[in-house]
Chain A
């Protein structure tokens, strides 16, 4: 197995799927000639030409709509948003067209497309460019939402997302593109959507973490192990459909849960997971489910404040100690 970055893993997934299916094409701002604002689409214009790797103007609503139309007539578009912050302009096409087309056409038009790009906090890009929007998109029936945390997951999940017949929101973490990890070389390496991954097994508390929070949760678990607390770390990987079964199984074993996320707490995914646990495993809880979320403020620009707004290892450790009554 090769050790590569998340950036390279995504690039491999795109290349392999473009090679595999001629109906797949890629479109977005700076994806072709500039090879991607984050170089995820490096080399793809050269290999597949300007008909399949297309630079768009700065018109998110326009090219998202173009993608939906292309999907309706049988193509499999991959639409890159330079960051998910800019998808806010395209929400009418994503939510009103892509998510609802299959339902409103009585099953006549499926929308096999992927919207992808970096999301979440970056490094000092301030309030408008540091948003974790997964709870927005996961809210709507008709959309699938995927958030990988390792290179292998990134590759296997993106390939599955491209082959999926429903619109998939694929959120890459902007800080994590350079993260390295082992990735199987197999061209048919797929990770099914809707399957959580137990990143670490444990017995005393469950930490549910996604995206940027996964490496932090693993670090917290390592530290807690030294303090005598064995933590299970679960990465749902797909936010919708959510693999609640794996989480509940873990809760029944550990009786204590912390859900870590970098997004705002109010109406967030952690709140949803907490409600699911409450409904399905109430009698197994020894402590209230504890959320560790980003600060409930627009992301500050100042570096010290930005650091305070994003949950860190210490907060996760403190929350686990709290639910374990230590």
Chain B
């Protein structure tokens, strides 16, 4: 039986799509799951997959043309099958069909329901996700479904439905990544972690308490969790690397007042002359604290996922005779300043002696490169893949600055963070740097 290919809903907010490119010609054999066309939505160019096996008999919407959701755009069938009735249907779109599709857009009522259910408790959320349309719609393999969420009926795996109900997530707020837009486990998991992160990120200015200093036994690299790449992340990644090589960098610079940090360092020295803490050690500690508050930055881009690390494993660039190496301070978020200082010294010494073991200089989640000792004011560093970012630290210098309309002298340091744009966006990086700056300018945050 011939199968109608409809304009699918490829972004949660699209109401029409433009055919960017057909990947199959009329007469080509297609199999289920194979990319059929690229479609420009309001958000991105998306691949549309065939939902059935057969021969692409007819293309009804040409490249560059647009069609509303649910409109017939192609026909898949057997090579010798009569598809004239479907073709004529395409030429004279049935009013009933158009109306059905237009309805949710035109009537404000369903929109209101949507708003309500978004914040509804679990029970309501499940009720809201009950089938709305009564047309039979499976999601089997042999073309039982030609349209998915376009009809308003949600397709959800049983497990995903149960998980969403338990977590109080409105299924209508999700877009499914399974066949035919089916909402599956990974979609709910992604929503759950997003929910978790927005919940904690909400009170912007309040800083979370920094991790306790008594280090739990730190062994090996940080644990992590992989979250499948979302469609938008994938598109951002693909587009940016065509512009700027495999790791698309962008740079954020800020000026940090270091007076209190310098003072802290001197106070510690006064307390115990044996405690040799450098400004760089403080920077490592502060970066680790800030990273834990910005998990998106303590992350790396993987082939199919964004990897979020539980701890901040900080790579510290060390110049050695004919190059440089970045030994790693594991779980710096859990270590005291003195522990970090001791470790950095030991690692740097062994790095210069070329005595580091491979797992001591690989697998950082973030790196710091400091050229302050060479009098460099500011510079940009190159990310050490697969890390998500690197912080280039300049020298601390006394400079005239304006504070409360007065020109005063302050110890100023400029830092520039290079970010992997595939996972870190401008605002994400900027928020991290804001936290970093805030803690470094008020290092007491490290102990409160």
Contact = CB atoms under 8 A, between A and B. Distances in A.
B184 A287 contact: yes
Contacts of A284: 158-159, 162
Interface in A271-309: 282-288
Given A325-B177, A325-B178, A255 B159 contact: yes
Contacts of B162: 283-284
B311 interface: no
A286 B184 contact: yes
A325 B159 contact: no
Nearest to B305: A228
B184 A285 contact: no
Interface in B149-208: 157-162, 177-179, 184-186
A104 B162 CA distance: 46
Interface residues of A, number: 10
B140 interface: yes
Contacts of A287: 157, 178, 184
A286 B156 CA distance: 9
B57 to A, nearest CB: 25
A285 B177 contact: no
A322 B139 CA distance: 13
B202 to A, nearest CB: 30
A282 B158 contact: yes
Which range contains the number of B residues in contact with the other chain? 10 to 19
A287 B177 CA distance: 12
Nearest to B188: A286
Given A255-B185, A325-B184, A325-B186, A286 B160 contact: yes
Nearest to B228: A325
Interface in A124-156: none
Given A255-B185, A325-B184, A325-B186, A285 B178 contact: no
Contacts of A282: 158
A133 B177 CA distance: 39
A146 to B, nearest CB: 32
A85 to B, nearest CB: 32
Interface string B1-44: 00000000000000000000000000000000100000000000
Contact of A285 (B33, B140, B158, B186): B158
Chain B CB count within 10 A is highest, among A283, A288, A325, for A325
Nearest to A287: B157
Contacts of A286: 157-160, 184-185
Interface string A224-250: 000000000000000000000000000
A283 B178 contact: no
A271 to B, nearest CB: 14
Nearest to A325: B178
A320 to B, nearest CB: 14
Given A325-B178, A325-B184, A325-B186, A288 B140 contact: yes
Contacts of B185: 255, 286
B239 to A, nearest CB: 23
A262 B157 CA distance: 28
A284 B162 CA distance: 8
Contacts of B178: 287, 325
A34 to B, nearest CB: 48
A254 to B, nearest CB: 10
A311 B308 CA distance: 39
B177 A283 contact: no
B178 to A, nearest CB: 5
A284 to B, nearest CB: 6
B386 to A, nearest CB: 16
Contacts of B179: 325
A243 B420 CA distance: 51
B228 to A, nearest CB: 9
Contact of A283 (B33, B159, B186): B159
B135 to A, nearest CB: 20
Contacts of A322: 33
Contacts of B184: 286-287, 325
B428 to A, nearest CB: 27
A229 B332 CA distance: 32
A296 B186 CA distance: 34
Interface in A101-116: none
A288 B159 CA distance: 11
Contacts of B161: 283
Contacts of B157: 285-287
A226 to B, nearest CB: 14
Contacts of B186: 325
Contacts of A325: 177-179, 184, 186
B137 to A, nearest CB: 14
Contacts of B140: 288
A300 to B, nearest CB: 22
A322 B184 CA distance: 13
A294 to B, nearest CB: 18
A284 B158 CA distance: 6
Nearest to A322: B33
B35 to A, nearest CB: 15
A287 B140 CA distance: 10
Nearest to A252: B159
Nearest to A321: B33
Chain A CB count within 10 A is highest, among B140, B158, B179, B184, for B158
B40 to A, nearest CB: 24
A272 B184 CA distance: 25
- Closest 5 A-B residue pairs measured CB to CB? A286-B185, A286-B159, A286-B157, A283-B162, A285-B158
22 contacts: A282-B158, A283-B158, A283-B159, A283-B161, A284-B159, A284-B162, A285-B157, A285-B158, A285-B159, A286-B157, A286-B160, A286-B184, A286-B185, A287-B157, A287-B178, A288-B139, A288-B140, A322-B33, A325-B177, A325-B179, A325-B184, A325-B186
Given A286-B184, A325-B179, 7 more contacts: A282-B158, A283-B159, A283-B162, A286-B157, A286-B158, A287-B178, A325-B184
